[in-house]
Amino acid sequence: MKAIKHDVLIVGGGMVGLGLACALKGAKLSVGLFERAESKPMLSLERDCRVSAIVAGNVEILRGLGVWTHLEEHAGPIRAMRVWDGQHAGSIRFEAFEIEQEALGYLIENSQTCNAMQETLHDADNVHLYCPAEIEDVQWAADQVSVRLNDGRAFAAPLIVGADGARSWIRNKAGIGLCVERDYEQKGIVATVKPQFSHRDTAYQRFSTTGPLAFLPMTGGLCSIVWSAENQDADRLMAFDDAGFLEALNLALGPVLGRIEEAGERAAFPLKARLADHVVRPRLALVGDAAHTIHPLAGLGVNLGLRDAMVLAQEIVDARRFREDIGEMDVLNRYMHKRMPDVLSVMGSMESFHQLFTHDWPMLPQIRNFGMRLLGNAGPLKAMLMRNSTGLSLPVPKQIS
């Protein structure tokens, strides 16, 4: 069978792969996007169990891509965030007005984000979605990448992008290992819950020695929880009936939202940090979880992936404008060098937070409490850190030029 020619092949049709396709929409490039199967969300109180907190800077990206128009009505604003040490008195609060923003970010169901991106791509003549499409083989040559599906269809392009998640098939096929693989020996329990009192568009995060418990504000007065617990504790919590789980959840959070009245279906997933040995190879680039995964305690994983997609898209478009080969290492290294400071900074910060709050070494609680009070009163320093953590001050294009 004659190979179908594209300029860019994207493996993985999740939020990051679709985001990259949206970024390349309208470019003078032919894009092929492969997804194994249409995913069906796991529902919890009739909401997608998997959600993402899209920070303010990345909301600007979604606006620039034209995605936000289809997504805004489904987005729950996070106007404030309250963090406290569950074992001690230290706490800190972040407010959107401190950085002159309407919201620090928005909580959105993953399936809604994917739907909005697909809607954005609906009239994109240069983007071709192949789903279901199971890749059987990939071969790299000096001037192109060749892909064969299990139904016999063949494709070729100068560049292939792995956006197929933490257990990336394309990364493994390319023989790329992991230079960082950190098993936290924890699981993250996710569910949708209904609190007695209004969440007031505020995210709540309580740290304990077993990990953080986050309550994130959704539309309709609901909250999404992410409860990180050591494997044995997580298995015990997952084994509870609904009444037992609610009792444990209320005890862990305390009365800040009144009583948690209802919890939907629960899911649990292992918590690991990973970093690929190589983010780029000749005619291959990795984005999102295929390149790096982090602890979800700040919900920044998908935000890193969307920033990967935007920077890579801009490098591809610029390279084509100047008639460079988009699969050459000179082009791909520019993408890598622009992204690694952000990736390594966030990975290091998440590891530091994990160590800071999961150990109870002598004097560490006092240091945590002092640090939170100091940061809370730091004024300009606090605002600078908030702008950086929300992606507003990062050198990432908000739309492709």
**By C-alpha distance, which of 362, 35, 351, 311 is closest to 184?**
351
Q: Are 312 and 390 in contact (CB under 8 A)?
A: no
What does the alpha-carbon distance between residue 252 and residue 255 come to, in Å, rounded to a whole number? 9
Q: Please give the model's pTM, rounded to 2 decimal places.
A: 0.94
Sort residue 93 into left (φ over 0), alpha (ψ -120 to 50) or beta: beta
HEC string for 204-226:
EEEEECCEEEEEEECHHHCEEEE
Domain boundaries, the chain: 4-180+272-389
What does the alpha-carbon distance between residue 401 and residue 27 come to, in Å, rounded to a whole number? 9
Tell me the helices (H) and strands (E) count for the chain, helix number first.
11, 24
Instruction: Assign domain 4-180+272-389 to its CATH superfamily.
Output: FAD/NAD(P)-binding domain (3.50.50.60)
- Determine whether 95 is exposed, middle or buried from the number of CB atoms within 10 Å of its CB (0-12, 13-18, 19+): middle
**Does residue 132 have a cis bond before it (omega within 30 degrees)?**
yes
Q: Are 249 and 190 in contact (CB under 8 A)?
A: no
Tokens 């909005």 belong to residue: 116
Q: Are 111 and 48 in contact (CB under 8 A)?
A: yes
Per-residue pLDDT in tens (0 to 9) along the chain, 401 residues? 799 999 999 999 999 999 999 999 989 999 999 999 988 899 999 999 999 999 999 999 999 999 999 999 999 999 999 988 765 566 889 999 999 999 999 999 999 999 999 999 999 999 999 999 999 999 999 999 999 999 999 999 999 999 999 999 999 999 999 999 999 999 999 999 999 999 999 999 998 766 789 999 999 999 999 999 999 999 999 999 999 999 999 999 999 999 999 999 999 999 999 999 999 999 999 999 999 998 776 567 899 999 999 999 999 999 999 999 999 999 999 999 999 999 999 988 887 777 766 666 666 666 767 676 777 777 888 899 899 989 999 999 999 98
* Cα angle 317, 323, 324; round to 5: 80
* The token pair that represents 207 in the structure block: 């740290």
- Determine whether 123 is exposed, middle or buried from the number of CB atoms within 10 Å of its CB (0-12, 13-18, 19+): exposed
